[in-house]
């Protein structure tokens, strides 16, 4: 499994290792050790930072909004720990939504009408991430395309939705099949297994979920089901043509940068 067990952070994993659909007679896979994904990193302790440094990490990209960062705190302490690496590992704030909380509970409440058709709800929520995430994704990928860029870690609150969409776009643009992209997304079910009961308990405090079958709806809206990502990839193609076209035409990633990332990751 691609998970990296680290007590101070949830859902940490390497997105590498997946096969690439290619006409090449040699089987190709996404290189490991280059792009990691995770939940909130402000819980990291010194041992956790040392572990990330040992993985060759250069930059932690935080996709969260201001309200989420203020609510959880811990940024100053994390930056103090990162400073102790001598600048080898740094944190950069690259929000998908600057002022709009987009954590799992917020998505569940905002799209509560889809609690029993979660796939449609997630596709709509993820369409907003694709639309609003372009500046953030541009900053991350233009950095990562540089020849001297070390490995990167991308995270949001749970490492599920914004991080999941970013990872899916990148993997799809590298030539990973929809099935494998959706399987990788669904690994978050494992990565958040310990945290999920807390999400559900907090949702059940809200009136909208205090109805018959409310718990089932809350569970649906905190999942990372394979079908949710397949629906999102379908939407990506309908709206933008392909992951590559999305990156080139909407994110405005220079083609030379996309090619540099492909050379680095394949």
Query: Between 232 and 121, whose confidence is greater?
Result: 232
Question: Is the pLDDT at 167 greater than 80, yes or no?
Answer: yes
Note whether 233 and 181 are within 8 A (CB). yes
| C-alpha distance across the termini of the chain, in Å | 19
pLDDT for position 208: 82
Note whether 172 and 236 are within 8 A (CB). yes
**C-alpha angle 89-38-134 in degrees, rounded to nearest 5:** 85
Question: Is the pLDDT at 259 greater than 70, yes or no?
Answer: yes
pLDDT for position 26: 87
Q: pLDDT band at residue 263, thresholds of 50, 70 and 90?
A: very high
Distance CA 147, CA 18 (A): 23
pLDDT for position 75: 96
**Closest alpha carbon to 18 in 160, 180, 243:** 180
- Please state the rounded mean pLDDT for residues 97-116: 86
Spatial strand order in the sheet of 57-62? 13-14, 35-38, 151-155, 57-62, 90-93
Q: pLDDT band at residue 1, thresholds of 50, 70 and 90?
A: low
Asked: is 13-265 a CATH 3.90.190.10 domain? The reply is yes
Question: Is the pLDDT at 116 greater than 80, yes or no?
Answer: no
Question: Is the pLDDT at 142 greater than 70, yes or no?
Answer: yes
Contacts of 163 (CB under 8 A, 6+ apart): 37, 38, 63, 154, 155, 156
Note whether 164 and 45 are within 8 A (CB). no
The sign of the dihedral angle between the CA atoms of 236, 241, 245, 249 is negative
- Please state the rounded mean pLDDT for residues 165-190: 98
Angle between the N-to-C axes of helices 134-144 and 255-265, in degrees from 0 to 180, rounded to the nearest 10: 60
The string of pLDDT tens digits covering residues 66-101 is 999 999 999 999 999 999 999 899 999 999 999 999
Q: Where are the domains of the chain?
A: 13-265
pTM, two decimals, is 0.94
- Please state the rounded mean pLDDT for residues 23-45: 94
Distance CA 131, CA 171 (A): 18
């Amino acid at each position: 499994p691609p998970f990296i067990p680290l007590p101070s952070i949830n859902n940490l994993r390497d997105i590498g290792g997946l096969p690439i659909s290619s006409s090449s007679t040699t089987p190709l896979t996404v290189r490991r050790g280059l792009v990691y994904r995770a939940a909130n990193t402000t819980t990291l302790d010194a041992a956790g930072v040392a572990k990330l440094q040992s993985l060759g990490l250069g930059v932690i990209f935080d996709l969260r909004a201001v309200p989420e960062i203020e609510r959880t705190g811990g940024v100053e302490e994390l930056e103090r720990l990162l400073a102790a690496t001598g600048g080898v590992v740094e944190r950069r704030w690259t929000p998908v939504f600057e002022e709009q909380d987009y954590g799992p509970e917020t998505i569940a409440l905002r799209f509560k009408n889809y609690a029993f058709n979660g796939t449609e709800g997630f596709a709509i929520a993820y369409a907003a991430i694709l639309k609003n995430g372009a500046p953030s994704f541009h900053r991350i990928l233009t950095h990562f395309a540089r020849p001297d860029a070390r490995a990167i870690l991308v995270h949001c609150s749970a490492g599920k939705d914004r991080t999941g969409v970013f990872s899916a776009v990148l993997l799809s643009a590298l030539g990973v099949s929809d099935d494998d992209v959706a399987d990788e997304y669904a690994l978050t079910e494992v990565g958040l297994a310990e945290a999920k009961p807390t999400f559900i308990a907090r949702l059940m405090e809200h009136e909208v979920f205090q109805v018959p079958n409310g718990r089932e709806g809350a569970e649906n809206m905190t999942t990372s089901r394979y079908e949710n990502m397949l629906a999102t990839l379908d939407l990506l193609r309908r709206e933008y043509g392909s992951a590559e076209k999305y990156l080139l035409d909407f994110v405005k990633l220079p083609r030379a940068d996309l090619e540099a990332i492909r050379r680095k990751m394949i």
